[in-house]
Chain A
Amino acid sequence: MTHHVILRVVSKFLIPLIALFAFYVQFHGDYGPGGGFQAGVILAASVILYALIFGLEEAKKSIPPTWVRVGMALGVLLYGGTGVATWLLGGAFLDYDVLAHDAAHGQHHGILAVELGVLLAVSSVMVTIFYAFGSRQPDLTDEDW
């Protein structure tokens, strides 16, 4: 889509806002609707939109496939690692009470870590799936749509 000027200009303006909104959803999840799943999907949508407008190769330059491959494993590891950390601190698996001196603070820390793991895993997997499908064929011309 090299000559769609309006699409390119508008998406250049919108993609940072979409990514910012993803982080708002992530960190405002304790207070309003949202959380790691929704934020991860929105963050992945910003990358996918970039790939759709500017081409898959450009997107792979900014978000390399190695990153998303590592990211999806790291997300699951962060979630499971939080559980193991609570284990080592003397609690049950994923019992966040032991993460801080105050039980409620421990819950806050645990939820934050777990939601970060969800964000990493979900966004990386979505981008991975898009990269995997998108790399199967050459970029389409406008007439093919």
Chain B
Amino acid sequence: MIFVSSAMVSTLILDVGFMAMLVVVAFAIVRLQSLFAIVMLQGVYSLLCAAWFVSLDAVDVAFTEAAVGAGVATILMLAAMLLADRESKPVPINRQFGPILVVILAGIALLFALPDMPTVGDGNSPANSYVGMDYIARTADEIKIPNIVTAVLASYRGYDTFGEVVVIFSAGLGVLLLLGLDGNAGKWKAKPNGIQLYAPSAPPARIKPDNDGGESS
């Protein structure tokens, strides 16, 4: 019994430590001006989230967070950053009141909703009582694969996963329609540290040798 309680204390220390690191990284992201550092810190944030999910026994979610959030999202943000400036401009003080008001109100609302949340590992919580228990009981007989998460994702909730795949497909399709696969929806040379980064109108689909004029016919 002593061993169990000490293990619980150590996971509690891990959870609190991860949350503290998340807060620190979030403040660093808000305070920094260099976009490169911000993108890297977003990857760090995702990786910390993934580690925390492992500590909460949500291994599949942690895996997804590490692969998508820390891996591909960081790379895509880097690729998108190439089209933008390297530094963000400081926000004037009179434009900071609105966001801080929204944050405070949302925080108050979350604190207000906190007593309704089930505690971690509560056997009577909604997630653990109705359909979830049903899946756990029936997977061994009906699907016969050890990983219940895969059974729920691909079979019991196949519609939802189909919807997710279509969402990802639509995202790719949207990028494809806007930018073109070879960048041929407007192939001009960006100036990463310059000012002129895009033409005022949609550029023509042909190679433009120079971009000092900034006008596109």
In the complex, chain B residues 136-180 whose Cβ is within 8 Å of any chain A Cβ: 142-147, 149-151, 153-155, 158-159, 161-162, 164-166, 168-169, 171-173, 175-176, 178-180
Q: Of B16-24, B68-76, B94-102, B116-124, which binds chain A?
A: B68-76
A11 on interface, CB distance cutoff 8 Å: no
| A131 & B161 in contact (Cβ 8 Å cutoff) | no
B205 on interface, CB distance cutoff 8 Å: no
Q: Which residues of A contact B155 (CB under 8 A)?
A: 94, 96, 107, 110-111
| B144 & A107 in contact (Cβ 8 Å cutoff) | yes
A114 and B158 in contact (CB under 8 A), knowing A72-B172, A103-B142, A144-B193? yes
A136 on interface, CB distance cutoff 8 Å: yes
Q: How far is the CA of A103 from the CA of B143 in the complex (A)?
A: 8
B182 on interface, CB distance cutoff 8 Å: yes
B181 on interface, CB distance cutoff 8 Å: yes
| A38 & B64 in contact (Cβ 8 Å cutoff) | yes
Contact of B165 among A30, A38, A79 (CB under 8 A): A79
| A69 & B192 in contact (Cβ 8 Å cutoff) | no
A77 → B minimal CB distance (Å): 10
Q: Which residues of A contact B143 (CB under 8 A)?
A: 104, 107-108, 111
A139 → B minimal CB distance (Å): 10
Q: Which residues of B contact A65 (CB under 8 A)?
A: 181-182
In the complex, chain A residues 11-33 whose Cβ is within 8 Å of any chain B Cβ: 25, 29-33
Q: How far is the CA of A118 from the CA of B82 in the complex (A)?
A: 29
Q: Which residues of B contact A94 (CB under 8 A)?
A: 155, 158-159, 162
Q: How far is the CA of A136 from the CA of B63 in the complex (A)?
A: 31
Q: Which residues of A contact B153 (CB under 8 A)?
A: 35
A66 → B minimal CB distance (Å): 8
| A133 & B162 in contact (Cβ 8 Å cutoff) | no
| B145 & A111 in contact (Cβ 8 Å cutoff) | yes
Chain A residue at smallest Cβ distance from B71: A45
Q: Mark B177-216, 1 if CB is under 8 A from A, else 0.
A: 0111111101101101100000000000000000000000
Q: How far is the CA of A113 from the CA of B181 in the complex (A)?
A: 27
Q: Mark B17-34, 1 if CB is under 8 A from A, else 0.
A: 000000000000000000
Q: How far is the CA of A114 from the CA of B64 in the complex (A)?
A: 18
Q: Which residues of B contact A132 (CB under 8 A)?
A: 175-176, 178-181, 183
Q: Which residues of B contact A104 (CB under 8 A)?
A: 142-144
| A33 & B168 in contact (Cβ 8 Å cutoff) | no
Q: Which residues of A contact B149 (CB under 8 A)?
A: 33, 35
